[in-house]
Structure 1
Amino acid sequence: MTKVLRLGVNDRVELFNGKGGLIEGCIQSIDRTGVDFVAFEDPKLVLPQSTQWHVFASFGTLKGGRADWLVEKCTELGANSVTPLLTERSPSISENRVDRLQRVILAAAKQCQRLHEMTLNPPTKIVSLLPIVAQSKLSFVALAEATPVISVLTSSRKEPSGLIIIGPEGDFTEKEVNMMIAAGATAVGLGPHRLRVETATVALLATLMLWSDSQQTSNI
C-alpha cells in the first residue's frame, strides 16, 4: 500500500479477503514493519454476481507464461472457476504449474479488486466433464467453422451459470467433439482465424461476460 500505491496516513483503504468479505477504513500510522489500519465499520459480506461462467481449458502444454496469462485474464474478466482440461492432445499438467497458477490468481484478484477469488479446480478429463455438460443448461465449446457465437447467443436464454470449453493446440479430436455435443454442448465459432488456446478462452469469456451483463441490465 505504501511502497507501490504510495498511500499515506489518513488515506482511505478497502480490505477484502477474496471470499466476499469487505471492510472500509484508513491508514492510521506507517513504520518499517508495516501499517496500522483503523476500520470505520464492521466487515460486510458482498454476495457474488448472479451469473457464473466456469472455464474448462486445455492449457497443460502451453509454454512461456501463456498459461499464467490465460488464468490471470480469466480472473480479471470475472470467471467463477477455471479447470485444466485433459485431452488426448493435452494429456497432463504439472503439479508445480498448478501451485504457480494459484499465486497468479491471488495477485490478479488483488490487482483488479475482485472481491470473490476465482477457483482453480483440479485437472479433469473429458469423460469427467461430460456429466457436468449434461447438467448445465448452457455449455459452449469453441470449434473452428462453427456458428458464430453472437448468432448463437441471439437465440440463447439467459441462465444463472454456464460452461466455456476450449480445446488444446491441435484442437479436440473428432471423438471428443462428438461426445461433448452428444452431452449437450453447443459449438460456437470465434471468427475466421485460428486462435491460440489463451486467445480463444479470453475472447469467448469476454463475449459471454458482456452478454450476461447486458441481460442483467435489461432486466432491471
Structure 2
Amino acid sequence: MQSLRPWRPCLWEVLNRPWNVKHPNLRAISSAASDYPNQSRGRLPRFFSETIPSSKGGVVRVQGDEFWHMTKVLRLKTNDRVELFNGKGGLVEGCIQNIDRAALDFVALENPKLVLPQSTQWHVFSAFGTLKGGRADWLVEKCTELGASSLTPLLTERSFAISENRVDRLQRVILAAAKQSQRLHEMKLNPPMKIDGLLPLVAKSKQCFTATAEATPLIHALTSVRDESSGDSGLIIVGPEGDFTAKEMRMILEAGATAVGLGPHRLRVETATIALLATVMLWSDSQQMVSP
C-alpha cells in the first residue's frame, strides 16, 4: 500500500499563485491610522526634556539626543503622539507639531501633571568607584530602575577615587534607565563623599542599614523596625570590594547605622547594593499598603 505524503506545491505553482486574493479576515493597519495612534505597544513613547509646556497648547523645542532618538531611531513623524517628562515628576502628553533638521516642536494636548513620589525615598551610598568592566554602569542602571532617590559614590580607604569622565557617562545611564522604566523622578547622582561626610547623615536618619558579614539578616532587621522609627526617607550603605576597614565600620555603626546581613555568601559590591535596595524598596511598599 502506497504511503500518503504531504502535498507540497512545486516552485512554479508558488511563483504563479495569485497573491492579490482578498481575504475577509485580513485588513491593512497603518501606524498613521486613527484606530492605531499608540506606537509604543500599550503606552505612548516617553522622552526627557528639562522644560515642558506649562499648559495645554504650549510648545517646547526638543533637541539633541532626544531629537535624534525620536526622529532617527523611532522615526516618529509630524502629528505622532508622545509624552515629555522633566525628571521632577512633571508629565505632559502631546504631539509633534513640526520637524526640521536640528530639532522638533512639541505641542501639549493637555495640561501637565505633577506626580509626587509615592514611597519612602531611599538614598544609596555605595563604594563602587573602582568597579570595572561595566559593573558600575549596571549598578547605576538598576538603582534607577528600582527607584532609588539618589546615589552617592562612597570614598573609602579601599575605594578612594572615581573618574570625572565616568560620572558624565553614569548620568547618561541614569537618563536611559529612567526612560526605560517609565520613571518620572530622575535619580540624583551626588558628588563622591568620604566617610566623614556620611556620618552626620547617618546620625540624622531614622532608617539606616549597612551591609556587613555575620550581621543580623536584613529581613529580621526590617521586621523589628517600629512604625514610629520609620520615616519618609532612609539610607543604605555598602562598602567597597574587601569591605570597610574595621575603623570605618565602627564609625558608621557608632553614628547610628544598623548592620544587616545579606546571606551566607560573599557578594560583589553591585550585587550587595541591588539586593539591599530591592529588599528595602519592597518592604517600604508593603508598609504603605498596610498602613491606614
- TM-score scaled to structure 2, two decimals? 0.70
Match of 2:13 in 1: none
Selected match of 1:118 from 172, 184, 187: 187
Inter-partner Cα distance in structure 1 for 2:150 and 2:113:
23
Selected match of 1:17 from 74, 86, 91: 86
Describe how 1:58-207 pairs up with structure 2 within 5 A: 58-157=127-226, 158-207=230-279
The Cα shift of 1:217 comes to 1.1
For 1:132, the aligned partner's letter is L
1:21-45: CA deviation from partner (whole Å, max 9, x where unpaired): 1101234566766655432212222
Aligned length: 220
The Cα shift of 1:13 comes to 2.1
1:26-84: CA deviation from partner (whole Å, max 9, x where unpaired): 34566766655432212222222341000000011100111111111101100000000
Describe how 1:33-72 pairs up with structure 2 within 5 A: 36-72=105-141
For 1:40, the aligned partner's letter is L
The Cα shift of 1:160 comes to 0.9
Inter-partner Cα distance in structure 1 for 2:127 and 2:214:
19
Q: Which moved more, 1:8-17 or 1:190-199?
A: 8-17
The Cα shift of 1:121 comes to 0.6
The Cα shift of 1:104 comes to 1.2
Inter-partner Cα distance in structure 2 for 1:128 and 1:32:
47
User: In the alignment, is the contact (CA less than 8 A) between 2:124 and 2:235 conserved in 1?
Assistant: yes
For 1:196, the aligned partner's letter is R
Inter-partner Cα distance in structure 2 for 1:166 and 1:203:
11
Unaligned runs of 5+ in 1: none
- TM-score scaled to structure 1, two decimals? 0.92
User: In the alignment, is the contact (CA less than 8 A) between 2:156 and 2:195 conserved in 1?
Assistant: yes
For 2:152, the aligned partner's letter is T
Larger Rg computed on CA atoms: 2
The Cα shift of 1:113 comes to 1.7
